Amino acid sequence: MREAATRCQGEVTFHDYASGRRVFSLPMAGRWASSIEPVPLVGQLADQQFHIFDPSRWTVITMIDISPGQKAEPLDIAARYDDETECFGWNNESYFSNPKWRNPDRALPRGQYLVKVAVRAAGQSREGFFVLNNAGTRNDFRLERANREEARRVVSAEA
């Protein structure tokens, strides 16, 4: 019988496409797409609108439980806006950045990047490798699975 993967945490690192070396020295805490956004709740009492600040929402790290048999749980990686050429690593820090949603500490100029995603739960870890294409227009912006050679560049650079 399979058990749930509890308190799953993701970690994302971005790497130079050619060399596999890290672009940022520190990894980025993962943000599960289904997790609660770290924004205040809005309430209304009569004609007065107010904000409710829930401290449990204000965290960089998000954790989720994944039920047995559940095929996938999306993890946010990066976002690109309008006609801008750079994209940005996306996690809960993005909600508090200036400018909003564009964390300058996670800015990725036009180009291709290798992305390593590590997910940890209950003392176990799984890794996946991807290619982030930010070389063309916003319509070309995408994340695809890396091939073995691309993944090997990341592993070799980290050794």
Query: Which residues on adjacent β-strands are paired with residue 51?
Result: 42
CB 62 within 8 A of CB 30: yes
Q: Based on the structure, what is the number of domains in the chain?
A: 1
Q: Nearest 5°: CA angle at 128, between 125 and 129? A: 145
Whether 19 is covered by a domain: the verdict is yes
- The residue range of the domain holding 60 is 5-38+49-158
CA 19/CA 17 separation, integer angstroms? 6
Whether 55 is covered by a domain: the verdict is yes
Whether 121 is covered by a domain: the verdict is yes
Whether 110 is covered by a domain: the verdict is yes
Q: Give pLDDT, residue 60.
A: 62
Structure token pair of residue 133: 């294409």
Whether 44 is covered by a domain: the verdict is no
Whether 18 is covered by a domain: the verdict is yes
**Confidence at 39, pLDDT banded by 50, 70, 90:** confident
Per-residue CA distances from 70 to 4, 5, 67, 73, 104 (Å): 9, 10, 6, 8, 34
**Confidence at 57, pLDDT banded by 50, 70, 90:** low
* pLDDT surpassing 90 at residue 90: yes
* pLDDT surpassing 90 at residue 143: yes
Whether 131 is covered by a domain: the verdict is yes
**Confidence at 37, pLDDT banded by 50, 70, 90:** confident
Where is 158: in which H helix or E strand? Answer: helix 148-158
Whether 31 is covered by a domain: the verdict is yes
